[in-house]
Structure 1
Amino acid sequence: MDDLVDDYDQALSPLRRCSNISSNLIDDLLLILYKLHLQKRFSEPIPTIGMYIALASLAIAVKLPMDLTIQMPGVLDQQAKLGSVAFMCIMMAFLLPSLANMNGMELATNITALGVLIITLVVNVCIQINTGLISHSEDMHITEYDGAKKSKGIIAHDKRAIAILYVAMLLMLLMIYICTALMILKSKQVLESKYQEMHKSIQQQARQLTVVNLKQHVIKYGVMATTGSTQLVTYCSVTTSASEVIGFLIFLLHHFTMPDNIRYEIRHRAHDSEYKWSILGILIIQYIGIILGATALLYRFDAPIEYMLAIEGIRKLIKFYRVESCWTDTLSDWRHNRLYSSPKLKHLIYKLQIFGLSILTHSQKAIVMTCKAIIIIPMLIAMCAMPPLYLFLDWLLLSLFRIQVDRRPEQVLHFAQYVLQPQDRNISARTLNSIINSVKCSNQNAERQQPSELMRLIQNVRDFKGVIEFDSLDVQSNYRDCWSLPVVTLATIALSLHEIQPGVLEKFQNVVSDGLVYVKLVEKNLNHNDELVSVQKAAERLWLEIEVYHTWLKKNLKDPELQEKTAIQIVGWFRDNATNMELVVGHKSICASSMGRITKTILLSNGNNIDEHGTDTDESGNDTVELSQEALFIKLSSMIADILAACLTNLPQVIVTKCHESVIEKREESVHAAATLLGKTSEIINTLQARQLPNLNPDDSPFIDKWRDHLRAQAP
């Protein structure tokens, strides 16, 4: 720094020798030169920052319109600054339906944060309009050519008008956001009430849970979940449609001003700011983002048309101009919430509250009416254009691809009673048919993913005897059993049998893994109580250890010690290790208890026992015929198949449970998950329902101990 000052001082030394120039003036000049140097030095990274802004523009960066210090007098500079505001408008229009996924507190927080951002942006743009940072006058664009001067003057005037228009649209979109948030709060309550009423009605229609009936059940809840969601209500609301029209109009304005600015950039150097060449990159990225956003808005605009197509008769079009109560019900409810105040001010505060809410209510109605006015012209145009377009698409699909669009009006009429909407609005048959086909598509795609190997394992199950054979009444138990733990324990013993071919063991492990996927669904949805949670988690953790590390509680299943043992000695080895671990705290104790109980049951079957030398003897102490590993493997596989089959008889109830989701935002996803589960397990359900199932109480069916008690009571 000192060297720089010395250089400037040396350059100004001739002036110091002039007697008519004061030293103070020279010092001031030296300071000015130094400040100019610093400004140039600090502005060197600005083009790099400009490229960062260009990339960040995809995330709605608003740095340029927020900047009150850096002058951007160039035509291209001005366009880039206003392009950020245009992009903000389009993204606000695009993101409006996302409000439907928020609860009351989230809506308040996000609307407040958005309001702070928009108000700050609007104030900054207004300051720049007033100070001339946006839309400089012709005097600031003087060039040596009159034609260039005239062109710049016209463009400068346009920039000022465009900036004012963008500011107005930002404020309008902010009011639309607030209006939509108030509507969502009330609509969610109305839709929830209607959903619960319809759910009770369906529950009263007791029907056998066959695959055919389950498909109908899933579609019913699919229609209820989709049409009764705040997502669809918000998506098809007039405020969303108006915001889409506003966004598309802003895109058209930005699009038609771009060519003039690009041509001017080619003829003249239109970027005069410190961002230099990077301003062109910012403009291009902005333009791409604006095009993509506008395309998405245009594609989405047919949603309100569906409502209009559902209206019968032009006379009902008048009803479109009425403001439904769902827009103002939230404000009406707030009238009854008294604000806390002192007794002296209670009357005054209440009157001010009523007065303020009355103004907000009228404002809300005005915004809704304005939105309806905004969308009515493009809506009528679309209504005229869409029917011929649909006919043309149907003809094209039939002519070129021999595909005939399946309207299925009968299925629409059958499921129309399950449509949930606030007020008395309807949806078109085309939309309802699309919802039904969406659920069917999830089901049909899953039908191609049937677990065939699991089917082969359980298709020979007849009497479910394995449910009682794995556990003897003569063996004490410290924990209540779940479905997954005995399956994992039996599979562990089977996987340790070294005389079984590795390929067979690998296939067996994969089948058990497939079965445990559905077992966990039964446990999670039907018997996920506090008493069984720890047991289920222990089973899940143990199976992960077996699959990944091939160990049981840190004991290697490929241990050379096991490779030399017979089948019955392997069972005894597991029994001894389990006995030593039963006193350990945590999941190891649960797993060891299960292993000890099952191995003792196997050893006690048919009166056999294991002495201290590992010799298989009967109750009289005589040596017995050694059980082969192949026979033990078949026995273990049979018990696993019986347990899995008994557990999977609960799949229809799991599907019914998954259809009914308590959280409104998750219902549609849950129904599609139920449709997928039904598709994957339809063959299993049909196979098991063809068996003679025990006559259990439906509330007892999800629990293995209830099955075991019932089967033992029925045994001869």
Structure 2
Amino acid sequence: MGKLGCGVDGVLNEAKFSEPLPWIGVYIAAASLACAVAMAADVIHGFRHWKLWFPCKFFTINATSLTIITVAVKLSVDLNTPMPRGQDQLAKLSSTALICTVMGNSMPSIGTMENKEILTNIIALGILVVTVVVNICIQLGTGVIFVFELEHAVIMFLMLVLLIVLSFSALTVPTIKHYLELKYKKKYEMAQKECSVANETNKSLEDKLREALMRYWMMAHTCSPQFVIGRSVTCTASGALCLLSAATLAEAMVRFYLMPGSFKFCKGDSDYKWSINLVLLTQAFAVGMGTIAPAMRWFLAINFRCPTRNKMKGKTTRGYKLEEYWIRILVEMKECPLNIPVHNRLCRRIAHDAKVKCLNLCIGIQAGIVFISKVIRLISVFIMSVILLSYDYFRDRLMKFTPDNSIGNDSGSELPHSSKLDLSRFVLHLEGEESLVELMMKDNRDATDYWRRKAKKRQPKYLMELLELSRPCEGFKGLTEFDSFKVPSLDTEEAPNCWSLSLVTLTGIAIAVPNIERCSMKRLIAGVNEGLVYVRNIEDMQGNMVNSRKAADVVWLGVELYHRWLDVDLRKLSLQGKNTNEILQVLSDSAKSIFMEFKKCNANLCLLDDPSKWPIKVLAANSMYRICQSILLDYEAKHYRMEEKLFEAITVMVSDILAACLTNLKQFITVKCSTTAIEEREKSVRHAAHVLGKTEAILKLLHKTPLPGLNPDKMIVMDEWRSFHKLNSTLYDTPSSELASPAPYDVYLTVD
């Protein structure tokens, strides 16, 4: 009978069922702490990057976060566990307040979602909110919740309002993205024209790229869906509602701890026992951390629109017109026919009329939400204006006691500001946001310069040392020296050369060369390792080299960490007393055996006809065989008898390949700025600014001499360089007037 939960007397042993509840409380606290940590990470990220609208990077509305939230608010839906003490009742209230905090905090995240993802997440969140509200109402009726009834009612009301605001704000996301895409295309064409005009000036390549990045950043940042939602009036209103819910919880906690005599609680202890204090502590912390971002969004909107601040006189009472993008999708849905499999005309008419009335109601609700949000903003402005204007008054009074020369310092600091590039025409804004253009431009004008200067402090010094050995005046001869055209192919079809695979293969051969100083080996590996970061970025612009890039990554992992090429120990090979010729032959034979085994096993497959589909080990083996055979062919002619001479020659080849590849950095920076996904543009431009900062010295070094007359789209392909050199072997012996070379500082900004 004990197994059935009954005692020896046949009575149900209820106490046994409540024994795990303290550990369930720990589980609830852990889920609440996870929410708090994620929201705190967003706050830190916002302050660190000075994005005071706090984008949702770590805590967003998705399946994972909703599951964690469901666990964290378990106390709100617990219908029958007795909660006699004050801490128990407060924990119920904190669980409810946490849902309001989550909705207000994560509202900008809906901007990054696809339409189906928005629908499923909002439905899931709605089910959770309705479940919590219903269960709390039941607990209020049954007496499980017997104090803080008013606070529960206020927070439930705020929770439902936040859900409605979030749901109807999500309806505008597709329309907003569509509007911004249209505006971005027009601004992008304008930026291209201005960049093409800038190419005709005498500015350096770095200055041209820097100004181009400033234009692209302003466009990418101001059309970021999270930023657009974060600065919207509904998000501002949700911040006020979230702040109010946190204040309600704070009021209840202050009353409980400072005025305990005003409450009458029951005797006894909760089944959650000691864990309830842990739950209350973590949830109060989560509510506090999660309220920072919504409160800051609300405060910034109030601060900007406060009269006499930021020159906004007369604008606080304007802008109550309902902008078209708020209801466009609802209007389109109303005008579209209702496709239902019903042939009866009367039934279809009734269904269509019902749909129209329902959508008219939704349009009215949306208009009401926008209007009330603007009213909330106006009320907030009038309430906060007294505090903000008082702050301004006392600040001005204190400024009178500062030395007079501070005025001269301020005026001097404005001189460079006036000479900066005017980017206001590249600010993408929606209807009704005209007053925000100057503010958004001012706050983000120097962002790219900041990232560029920050990245400039971390220059790839080993890569710079390696690139100084390159031979741009000779057309980067290493591109043809490392893989001779005279080497017979292992198959009828030859795999295309890949920048990164050639580099890691040559470095592996260099490690196998005996009697080389360890410091020289380390500098070569470090330089190649720093260069591969940019080489991979450039190769990402090619779509047919996926397997070759994977092969390079696998080979480099073994070469850098273990000094191994696939299954061959390179350092052991160099210490076996063999001469360089024998070592190259061993590597060549090992590579050939791998390829021939693959060819034998796949003789009847069409895989052999397409080298791009070869397995990564086969591609690595093919590269090693060709390079080793090329070096062996030139072994006598180049006088590589001395190990130091061979190592030096390989190092120069590596330098030439790296240098030729990195001449595409300007093209890569431009492509990064023109990525098509609206959600990724901001991140891409920031990455491009970091790359420019780290490689400014490299760009200066590589563009001292004119480059070969290749089209920019062909310069990213290694075999195009090799074919160019093969067909124009006397290119660098011809007069410069006959070279179809672009100017050394041309910036190609035309991207398909």
TM-score of Structure 1 vs Structure 2, range by shorter chain: 0.7 to 0.9
Q: Give the one of 451, 454, 470 matched to 1:442.
A: 451
* Structure 2 contact 29–282 (Cα < 8 Å) conserved: yes
Q: Which runs of 5+ in 2 are unaligned?
A: 36-68, 599-614, 731-752
Q: Give the one of 440, 464, 476 matched to 1:455.
A: 464
Structure 1 match to 2:109 = 98
Can you list the C-alpha shifts for 1:157-187, whole angstroms capped at 9, x where unaligned? xx23222222211111110111110122211
Structure 2 match to 1:113 = 124
Q: Give the one of 543, 564, 569 matched to 1:551.
A: 564
Structure 1 match to 2:305 = 308
- Does 2:364 align with 1:362? yes
Query: What is the root-mean-square deviation in Å for CA atoms of aligned residues?
Result: 3.3
Aligned equivalents of 1:575 and 1:41: distance in 2?
72
Aligned ranges 1:324-343 → 2 under 5 Å: 324-341=323-340, 342-343=342-343
Which letter does structure 1 place at the counterpart of 2:228? V
- Does 2:669 align with 1:674? no
Deviation of the 1:497 alpha carbon = 1.2
Aligned equivalents of 2:319 and 2:565: distance in 1?
68
Aligned equivalents of 1:691 and 1:522: distance in 2?
21
Which letter does structure 1 place at the counterpart of 2:190? S
Return closer, same or farther for 1:693/1:128 CA change in 2, 3 Å cut-off: same
* Structure 1 contact 221–659 (Cα < 8 Å) conserved: yes
Deviation of the 1:41 alpha carbon = 4.2
Q: Give the one of 425, 431, 454 matched to 1:423.
A: 431
Return closer, same or farther for 1:640/1:282 CA change in 2, 3 Å cut-off: closer
Give secondary structure in 1 for the equivalent of 2:520: helix
Structure 1 match to 2:75 = 64
Return closer, same or farther for 1:48/1:538 CA change in 2, 3 Å cut-off: closer
Structure 2 match to 1:147 = none
* Structure 2 contact 316–378 (Cα < 8 Å) conserved: no
Deviation of the 1:447 alpha carbon = 0.3
Aligned equivalents of 1:698 and 1:472: distance in 2?
25
Structure 2 match to 1:348 = 350
Aligned equivalents of 1:533 and 1:46: distance in 2?
53
Structure 2 match to 1:465 = 477
Deviation of the 1:607 alpha carbon = 6.8
Aligned equivalents of 2:171 and 2:448: distance in 1?
31
Q: Give the one of 500, 506, 510 matched to 2:522.
A: 506
What percentage of aligned pairs have identical amino acids? 32
After TM superposition, the structure 1 stretch with the greater mean CA deviation from structure 2, 317-326 or 697-706, is 317-326
Structure 2 match to 1:480 = 496
Can you list the C-alpha shifts for 1:109-155, whole angstroms capped at 9, x where unaligned? 010001101111111122222333333xxxxxxxxxxxxxxxxxxxx
Give secondary structure in 2 for the equivalent of 1:301: helix
Which letter does structure 1 place at the counterpart of 2:14? Q
Can you list the C-alpha shifts for 1:656-707, whole angstroms capped at 9, x where unaligned? 1111222211211111111111111110011111123112122211111111
Which letter does structure 2 place at the counterpart of 1:474? K
Deviation of the 1:481 alpha carbon = 0.8
Structure 2 match to 1:288 = 285
Which letter does structure 2 place at the counterpart of 1:160? E
- Does 2:630 align with 1:601? yes
* Structure 2 contact 100–162 (Cα < 8 Å) conserved: yes
Aligned equivalents of 1:634 and 1:222: distance in 2?
42
* Structure 1 contact 412–432 (Cα < 8 Å) conserved: no
Give secondary structure in 2 for the equivalent of 1:700: helix
Aligned ranges 1:73-222 → 2 under 5 Å: 73-135=84-146, 156=147, 159-204=148-193, 205-206=195-196, 207-208=198-199, 210-222=205-217
Can you list the C-alpha shifts for 1:484-529, whole angstroms capped at 9, x where unaligned? 222222222211111111221122111112122211111112x2x2
- Does 2:270 align with 1:274? yes
Aligned ranges 1:649-664 → 2 under 5 Å: 649-664=663-678
Structure 1 match to 2:251 = 256
Aligned equivalents of 2:640 and 2:170: distance in 1?
75
After TM superposition, the structure 1 stretch with the greater mean CA deviation from structure 2, 110-119 or 229-238, is 229-238
Return closer, same or farther for 1:466/1:678 CA change in 2, 3 Å cut-off: same
Aligned equivalents of 1:395 and 1:105: distance in 2?
55
Return closer, same or farther for 1:518/1:99 CA change in 2, 3 Å cut-off: same
* Structure 1 contact 46–274 (Cα < 8 Å) conserved: no
Aligned equivalents of 2:571 and 2:237: distance in 1?
68
Structure 1 match to 2:513 = 497
Aligned equivalents of 1:307 and 1:374: distance in 2?
15
Structure 1 match to 2:222 = 227
Aligned equivalents of 2:106 and 2:640: distance in 1?
71
Aligned equivalents of 2:274 and 2:594: distance in 1?
72
Give secondary structure in 2 for the equivalent of 1:219: helix
* Structure 2 contact 501–548 (Cα < 8 Å) conserved: yes
Structure 1 match to 2:601 = none
Structure with greater Cα Rg: 1
Q: Which runs of 5+ in 1 are unaligned?
A: 9-29, 136-155, 609-623
Aligned equivalents of 1:576 and 1:75: distance in 2?
79
Give secondary structure in 2 for the equivalent of 1:583: helix
Aligned equivalents of 1:81 and 1:471: distance in 2?
72
Aligned equivalents of 1:626 and 1:130: distance in 2?
92
Q: Which TM-score applies when normalising by structure 1?
A: 0.83
* Structure 2 contact 76–96 (Cα < 8 Å) conserved: yes
* Structure 1 contact 87–290 (Cα < 8 Å) conserved: yes
Return closer, same or farther for 1:663/1:455 CA change in 2, 3 Å cut-off: same
Return closer, same or farther for 1:606/1:253 CA change in 2, 3 Å cut-off: closer
Which letter does structure 2 place at the counterpart of 1:215? R
Return closer, same or farther for 1:389/1:660 CA change in 2, 3 Å cut-off: farther
Return closer, same or farther for 1:432/1:45 CA change in 2, 3 Å cut-off: same
Give secondary structure in 2 for the equivalent of 1:247: helix
* Structure 1 contact 412–429 (Cα < 8 Å) conserved: no
After TM superposition, the structure 1 stretch with the greater mean CA deviation from structure 2, 672-681 or 315-324, is 315-324
Can you list the C-alpha shifts for 1:77-112, whole angstroms capped at 9, x where unaligned? 333322221222222211222212211111100100
Aligned ranges 1:536-685 → 2 under 5 Å: 536-559=549-572, 563-585=576-598, 586-605=615-634, 608=637, 627-685=641-699
Deviation of the 1:252 alpha carbon = 2.1
* Structure 1 contact 43–274 (Cα < 8 Å) conserved: no
Aligned equivalents of 1:513 and 1:45: distance in 2?
53
Aligned equivalents of 2:157 and 2:352: distance in 1?
33
* Structure 1 contact 311–317 (Cα < 8 Å) conserved: no
Return closer, same or farther for 1:565/1:236 CA change in 2, 3 Å cut-off: same
* Structure 1 contact 76–279 (Cα < 8 Å) conserved: yes
Give the aligned length.
647
Return closer, same or farther for 1:200/1:54 CA change in 2, 3 Å cut-off: same
Return closer, same or farther for 1:645/1:562 CA change in 2, 3 Å cut-off: same
Give secondary structure in 2 for the equivalent of 1:558: helix
Aligned equivalents of 1:571 and 1:363: distance in 2?
77
Aligned equivalents of 2:714 and 2:332: distance in 1?
45
* Structure 1 contact 658–670 (Cα < 8 Å) conserved: yes
Return closer, same or farther for 1:42/1:707 CA change in 2, 3 Å cut-off: closer
Aligned equivalents of 2:7 and 2:713: distance in 1?
93
